[in-house]
């Protein structure tokens, strides 16, 4: 079998990107909120159905900007089952992550356990919609309102997800998304911040461009989170393919589900949400079984990924280790199978057969 990786970036026919590259040459404008970046923001707001959105350089800086814009201090309650960028952004911004265990089915932070973790130093909840599956946003908002906390959603995986017919990006004070090459919809490198309130978006806009400039001086702190016209060009082409990408990923997921349903467990999806099939996580009975399957697939040139192992709560060298039972259990048994637009359906079938053979 040809080498199969866990994912592969979507690429449209080259000429389509070249049309936009020609515009870049005509405009002689490469970055700093150029015309293509602005056009992309407008198209994305219309596509997603949100108003307050900014295109930024990646999903990690989007999280850092969110923490900065909301003025968060002290402790931030978060999930230990996520990409390391979720925790890093908290620490980078000088706050302390407080890990709360996940639910075994949804793989998201357990709202029932959030309240116990709140102290007088808690300023916010930063939760990830893991693999695109929406958190219990209603329960989380209730807790936040009761304790006067801000809510940030790391929606890095959640492009094209709706909850109760609204974009999932509309929940929380700020949602962030990653548009990295490995994502469902991408701009090579890139990210989004979506704010509930206009004033917060204004702050995020200043932060993206080195802070607020006033006449000859600077009036607030900022960073460089702008993205380039080349990245915007990728996004402007790729947005036209979202429907086809979704369709193909759905077909691949249905093959895995049908073939593997008796042998592994799947993530329990939020009943009120759509799906984007951005990852295909499977939960094995034991870590030993996972390791056996992973190795067997590798012998057949198929490379899966242990997203997200190890648990962030027990493995970061600069933090005291906390053992959270559900997170330890899931992170040791969860394996993401290859899923991407170019993957032939026959390969998904073959991968499933190899897994069944091995189990």
Identity of the residue, 129 or 150, whose beta carbon is nearer to ligand T4K in the bound complex: 129
Distances (CA, A) of 137 to 63, 175, 334: 18, 12, 24
Question: Rounded to whole angstroms, how far apart are CA atoms 147 and 156?
Answer: 26
DSSP 191: E
When asked if residue 5 is in the footprint of ligand T4K (CB under 6 A), the reply is yes
Which residue lies nearest ligand T4K, judged by its C-beta? 59
What angle do helix axes 287-299 and 345-358 make, rounded to 10 degrees?
Answer: 130
Q: Judged by CB, which is closer to ligand T4K: 60, or 167?
A: 60
Q: Beta strand 96-99 with 162-163: parallel, antiparallel or unpaired? A: unpaired
Closest CB 128 distance from ligand T4K, rounded Å: 5
Closest distance between ligand T4K and the C-beta of residue 184, in Å?
11
Q: Give the number of residues in contact with ligand T4K, rule: CB under 6 A.
A: 23
Nearer to ligand T4K, 158 or 260 (CB): 158
Whole-angstrom Cα distance, residue 54 to residue 42?
10
Figure out which of the listed residues 31, 96, 141, 182 binds ligand T4K, where binding follows CB under 6 A: 182
Should residue 52 be labelled a site residue for ligand T4K when binding is judged by CB under 6 A?
no
Q: Which of 87, 106, 128, 326 binds ligand T4K (CB under 6 A)?
A: 128
* Tally of CB atoms within 10 A around 353: 12
Binding marks (x or -) toward ligand T4K, 83..122, rule CB under 6 A? x-xx------------------------------------
Neighbours of 253 (CB within 10 A): 19
Residues 186-245 that bind ligand T4K (CB under 6 A): 191
Out of 156, 312, 316, 355, point to the residue binding ligand T4K (CB under 6 A): 156
Residue placing its CB nearer to ligand T4K in the complex, 179 or 246? 179
Nearest of 152, 158, 143 to residue 171 by alpha carbon: 152
> Pick from 82, 106, 162, 187: which binds ligand T4K (CB under 6 A)?
82
**CA nearest to 173, candidates 200, 191, 192:** 200
Piece of 180-188, 205-213, 241-249, 311-319 that binds ligand T4K (CB under 6 A)? 180-188
Rg of the Cα trace of the chain?
Answer: 21
Indicate which single residue of 10, 53, 55, 60 sits in contact with ligand T4K (rule: CB under 6 A). 60
Longest dimension (CA), the chain: 69
| Closest to ligand T4K by CB, 12 or 359 | 12
Q: Does 185 bind ligand T4K (CB under 6 A)?
A: no
Neighbouring C-alpha atoms within 13 Å toward the C-beta of 79: 32
The residues, ordered by sequence, that sit 6+ positions from 285 with a Cβ below 8 Å of its Cβ are 264, 333
Is 157 or 208 the residue whose CB approaches ligand T4K more closely?
157
Beta-sheet strand order (sheet of 334-337): 265-266, 280-283, 334-337
Residues that bind ligand T4K (CB under 6 A): 5-9, 58-60, 82-83, 85-86, 128, 154, 156-157, 178, 180-182, 191, 303, 307
């Amino acid at each position: 079998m040809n080498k199969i990786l866990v994912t592969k970036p979507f690429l449209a026919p080259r000429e389509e990107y070249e049309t936009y590259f020609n515009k870049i040459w005509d405009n002689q404008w490469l970055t700093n909120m150029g015309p293509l970046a602005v056009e992309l923001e407008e198209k994305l707001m219309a596509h997603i159905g949100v108003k307050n959105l900014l295109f930024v350089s990646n999903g990690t800086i989007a999280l850092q900007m969110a923490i900065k814009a909301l003025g968060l201090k002290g402790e931030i309650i978060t999930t230990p089952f996520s990409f390391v960028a979720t925790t890093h952004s908290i620490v980078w911004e000088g706050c302390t992550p407080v890990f709360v265990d996940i639910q075994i089915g949804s793989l998201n932070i357990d709202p029932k356990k959030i309240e116990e973790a709140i102290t007088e130093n808690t300023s916010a909840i930063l939760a990830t919609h893991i693999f695109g599956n929406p958190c219990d946003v209603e329960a989380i908002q209730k807790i936040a309102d009761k304790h006067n906390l801000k809510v940030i959603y790391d929606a890095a995986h959640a492009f094209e997800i709706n909850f109760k017919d609204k974009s999932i990006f509309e929940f929380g004070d700020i949602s962030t998304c990653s548009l990295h090459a490995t994502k469902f919809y991408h701009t090579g490198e890139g990210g989004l911040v979506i704010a509930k309130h206009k004033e917060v978006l204004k702050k995020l806009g200043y932060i993206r461009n080195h802070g607020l400039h006033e006449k000859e001086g600077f009036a607030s702190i900022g960073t460089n989170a702008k993205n380039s016209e080349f990245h915007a060009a990728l996004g402007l082409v790729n947005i036209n393919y979202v429907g086809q990408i979704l369709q193909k990923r759905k077909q691949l997921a249905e093959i895995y589900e049908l073939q593997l349903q008796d042998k592994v467990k799947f993530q329990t999806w939020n009943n009120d949400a759509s799906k984007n099939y951005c990852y295909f996580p499977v939960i094995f009975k034991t870590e030993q079984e996972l390791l056996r399957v992973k190795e067997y697939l590798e012998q057949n040139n198929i490379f899966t990924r242990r997203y997200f192992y190890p648990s962030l709560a027990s493995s970061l060298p600069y933090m005291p280790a906390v053992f959270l039972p559900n997170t330890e259990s899931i992170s040791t048994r969860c394996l993401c199978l290859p899923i991407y637009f170019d993957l032939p359906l026959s390969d998904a079938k073959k991968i499933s057969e190899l897994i069944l053979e091995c189990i």
